[in-house]
Every structure is written in C-alpha cells, then in structure tokens.
Structure 1
C-alpha cells in the first residue's frame, strides 16, 4: 500500500477530528496570541501596532521598576492548583482503593459522580449556604455551644470549594487504574522478603501511576484557571489569574491584556506538561493517553 492510498483511507477517520482541533483549538489559540500583541484604544477597540506592552504590564516591567501585582496573582493561582492537587491526591488515592475493594463499589461510584448531576453553580452556592455567618456550619457549632466562624468570604472557602469540585476528577481515573492492578506482583514481592510498605511502593504504586498522573492533570489545569469559585466564595477578596482574564474580557474590555494574561497562563500549564513528557518519556505518555 503506497502512502497516497493509506492517507486516502485515513482521511475519513482523521479528517473530522483534525478539522475540529484546527477550528476550535489551534485557530482560537493563534487569535489569542496575536491579540496579546495589540493595544486597547480609548474606545475599547483593538488597534496596532504590535507591541510587548501587555506582557510588560503583566510581568510588572515599567519605567518605575518592577510591580509584581500580576505575578503575585499568578503565584496565588499556582498555589491554589498545587494545594488542590495535593489535597485531592491525599483524599482520593486511598478512597480509590476503598472503592475497588468494596462490595458496594457501584454505589460508591454513583456517589462520586452524583455531584455532576447538579449544576456547577448550584454546588458552589451550596458552600455559601454552609459557610456564611448564619449558615449550616455555624448553626451546627451553636448546637455545641461553640463560637461561630466566619469562613465566607475567605480563601479557606475558595480552597475547600475547589478541592470539593475537582476531587472526582482524580478519583475516577485513579479507580480505573486500581481496578487493573495485578496483585500477584505484590504477592511475589512479599515472597521475596519485601515488607508491606516496600512491596506496595515497588509492586502496586507503579501500576497506579497512569491513573494518578491523569487525575493530577485533570485537577491541576482547571484549578489553576478557575475563576467562578474564587469569584463566588471569595466575593472579590480572592483574585486569581482567571478572575483577571474574566475582568479584562468583560467589564474592562481590554481584550489585548486579557489575551496576554491568558497566554501566560497557558504557557505555564504547557510548560508543566512538557516537563512531565520529558520526565516520563514516550512510554509514560502512551500509558497516560
């Protein structure tokens, strides 16, 4: 079979997917990249010439020295992503094993996916009802004679809401990996003299890595770019990069600076994926996919 015949046969299969990626992924990305070099005129419209001013503004490079305002916001977004990812791993990793070993795994899986049956905004508003001054949590504390705590609006509420929102995204792929574990490897490790911890680390943990890495990516990427949770549970006190982008494309109508902020965030995430690809190698990426 020559190359032309092979491409002719593959075109009906690859063509629609490739066209979708080009139209809805590559083209918008290139438009954001191009817009980031434009400027906002006094009327709110985009105009030339091409400039790096938006990136200088984001990184705080100005005639008066460095202004780390937006870099601090980016740091807070990355911190939220790291903390959320770490918390979901600590909670979700043992829970995935618990589900796999439970005789009621179907019921537990149903409970994991049950929040997806409710609108995302309703779930976030539910945390407001729980955390507000006269909310469910303080009413419960009052029943035990404890002083009320003010958790809304606060960073604590933002972190709790983000962890709750993205926890299922780690549990589900990790559970899929746990279900495929070959437990005979653990028995062989014990037969060779390995203890429980060492046997788990060398025989079981490597088998869960594809699901764990997939879950980490599914949690970290949206957590870094979140803006709805911080907007509602932070009530304007928790500003993240996602909020900056939302404001620039919305009320401020500065699409050029919003594009620059979005592209910086995209570059940070893609750099992390590239570093993982370099570390994992071709086999690790194949297992992840």
Structure 2
C-alpha cells in the first residue's frame, strides 16, 4: 500500500508538472500572438501600402491605366522584373524640390496645423480639467457629450459651419442683431475659418487624452502647494501642467498629425486660394492624374510626420532609462 501511495503521489506530482509546463507553453504562445497581431496589422495596413505608394513615386507618368510605368508583374519572368526595376528613378522627388508650390504647401500645412493644435490645446485643457474635477456621477455624461459629435457625419458638420460662417450666416446675423458689428464679418474662405473647422473637428482628440491623464492626478498636491504659499497660477505650472504633460503630448499629436494632411476643411471653409498639402495632393492625384508625383508628395508628407515622432519616442525612451 505504501509503494502504491508513493507511486500515485509521484504520478500526481508529474501530472502537475506537465500541466504547469503546458500552461507556461500556452502562455508563451499567447504572449507572442499578442505581440505579433499589432505587427501584422502594421504590415498589412501600413508597410505594404507604403511600399506600393513608394514604388509608384519612383515611376513615370503615362497616359494609360494605371497612369504610370512600369507596372510591376512577373509575366516577363525574373529578368523582366529586373528590367522594370531599372526604370525606376527619383525624378519626381527632384521635381518637388524644383517647384516652390510643394515647399510652400508643406510649410503652410505645418503652420496651420501647429496653430490649430495650439488653439485646440487652449480650448481643450480647461474642458478636460473641468471634467476631471467634476463629480464622478456626471463624468460619464460629460464624456458622452464630448464624443457626441462623432455620431454625425464629419462632412455634414463641416458643411454646417459654412451656414454659420458665411456673410449671411447665423453668426453674422446674431452679431448684427445684438449690435456688436455694423456690417457682416468676412470669415468664410479665410484662415480663421480653417482654424475654427479644425479645432471644432479634432477637439475631442485633444480632450480625451488630457482627461485620461488629469483624472488620475492627485489634486491634493495642488491644495498642499497653495497651503505652502503657491499661487493658483504657480501651482498650475509647477504641478498640474507637468503631471498632465503626457496627455498634452498625446493630444497634440492626435490633432497635429491629421490636421497637416487635412483636405475637406481647407477645401470647404478655406476656399480655392488655401494652400495646404492635402489639397495639393488631391489636385495632383485626381485633377492632373499624376500618380507618381502625388505619391512622392505623400511619401515626403509621411516622412515629415513619422520621423519626428520616432525621434521623440527614442528620446523619451532614453530619458526613462536614465531616470531608472
């Protein structure tokens, strides 16, 4: 009986060890799958489309369908594919450096997006701060109100601003009725209208990361600073803003990146004279049907946005490592 019990105990210990090893193996596979899925997503929806666009940017314009040459294919075999690769060149990128239109469009887009991001931060920070300090019972309602505009089509909301900002629109009618102005303001088809449209459209992207950061902040730190003689403004710059900096950075990126390539808002609210890279890209792609040049414009725009972000993230990682 004793030997049987010992053998049974040994079998039980062995089965537990096997189950433990199996559990560790399953956990390792699961963790790898969790890591692989985002990389597969980036590969399919970012890297492969980028490679296709980059290849088109090295091609030449042609009156055909598709409107560029060469069109890669294996019909002529490997040697034919290598011959097609030799036809690729950087002529389109050289053309972008020779025409000041594209440089001015890039600069104008960055300036407009930067000003719009700053204005969105000025408007969004007080809103996010008020939401974070609001009673916990009404915070879900406030979050819903922030997200509520997304329930309506983006295009319809931009068109609505045309009715508000035009000379005979609601804003001018209200200002004239209240006696604030004597003649209608010219807001539509100006940069001011673009700023209004971008700030309105992307304001939730600024508020949500700010609110997520501020909600976790210990507000007793502000009370302690004020008890020690710090002014409210001083407490804001020494405590609140540094603690909210991750949300500020995230919100600014979420607003700035899409604003640089924005097309609909400048086209509808800024008018035909507005120079932004999104409109220039659209004109090259659809009006001029110059796919290689438009692809080169898109590649440079992507690099202008991705490279600074990668440098910033690398600097942040090094700073964190040094802090440890």
> Shorter chain as normaliser: what TM range?
0.7 to 0.9
Q: Does the C-alpha gap of structure 1 residues 99 and 9 become closer, same or farther in structure 2, counting only changes over 3 Å?
A: closer
Which residue number corresponds to residue 47 of structure 1? 69
Give the alignment partner of residue 147 of structure 2, picking from 104, 108, 113.
113
**Residue 198 of structure 2 is aligned with which of 162, 165, 169?**
162
Counterpart contact for 1:173–1:212, Cα < 8 Å: yes
| More divergent stretch after superposition (237-246 vs 115-124) | 237-246
Deviation at 1:15, TM superposition (A): 4.0
CA distance in 2, matches of 1:85, 1:36: 30
Aligned position for 1:246: 282
User: Is 1:91–2:123 an aligned residue pair?
Assistant: yes
The Cα shift of 1:59 comes to 1.9
Contact 1:277/1:284 (<8 A) preserved: no
Alpha-carbon distance in 2 for matches of 1:202, 1:55:
46
Q: CA RMSD in A?
A: 2.4
Cα distance in 2 for residues equivalent to 1:133 and 1:192 = 53
Partner-residue secondary structure (3-state), 2:303 = helix
- Aligned residue for 2:134? 102
1:137 aligns to 2:171 (yes or no) = yes
In 1, the alpha carbon distance for the partners of 2:240 and 2:132 equals 14
Residue 257, structure 1, aligned to residue 280, structure 2: no
CA contact (8 A) 1:176 1:211 kept: yes
* Partner residue, 1:234: 270
Higher mean C-alpha deviation, range 40-49 or range 108-117:
40-49
CA distance in 1, matches of 2:222, 2:184: 49
1:186/1:156 CA distance change after superposition, 3 Å: closer
**SS of equivalent to 1:59:** helix
Q: 1:246 to 1:154 in 2, by over 3 A?
A: same
Matched position secondary structure for 1:250: helix
Partner Cα separation in structure 2 for residue 151 and residue 9 of structure 1: 55
Q: CA deviation at 1:190?
A: 4.7
Contact 1:170 1:218 in 2 (8 A): yes
Residues 37 and 111 of structure 1: CA distance in aligned 2, closer, same or farther (over 3 Å): same
Contact residue 141 and residue 147 of structure 1 kept, 8 A: no
CA contact (8 A) 1:151 1:157 kept: yes
> After superposition, what is the alpha-carbon deviation per residue over 1:88-110, rounded to whole angstroms, capped at 9, x for unaligned?
11111122111222234333322
Question: Equivalents in 1 of 2:267, 2:229: separation in Å?
Answer: 53
Q: Give the whole-Å Cα distance in 1 for the aligned partners of 2:320 and 2:297.
A: 31
Structure 1 counterpart SS, 2:89 = coil
**What residue in structure 2 maps to residue 151 of structure 1?**
187
- Among residues 118, 128, 150, which one is paired with 2:162 in the alignment? 128
When structure 1 is superposed on structure 2, of 276-285 and 32-41 the one drifting more is 276-285
TM-superposed deviation, 1:214: 0.8
Residue matched to 2:42: 21
Task: Compare 103-112 and 124-133 and name the one that shifted more.
Answer: 103-112
> What displacement does 1:8 show?
4.1
Give the C-alpha shift of residue 282 in structure 1.
Answer: 4.8
Distance 1:70 1:266 in 2: 14
SS at match of 1:164: helix
Q: List runs of 5+ in structure 1 lacking aligned partners.
A: 61-66
Alpha-carbon distance between aligned partners in 2 of 1:149 and 1:199, rounded to the nearest angstrom: 40
Count of residues in Structure 1 that have an aligned counterpart in Structure 2: 277
Q: For residue 53 of structure 2, what is the aligned residue in structure 1?
A: 32
Deviations 1:185-221 (A, max 9, x none): 3345456654444433333222211111111110000
Match of 2:97 in 1: 59
Residues 131-152 of structure 1 show CA distances to partners (whole Å, capped at 9, x for unaligned) of: 1222112222331352012222
Name the TM-score, length of structure 2 as normaliser. 0.78
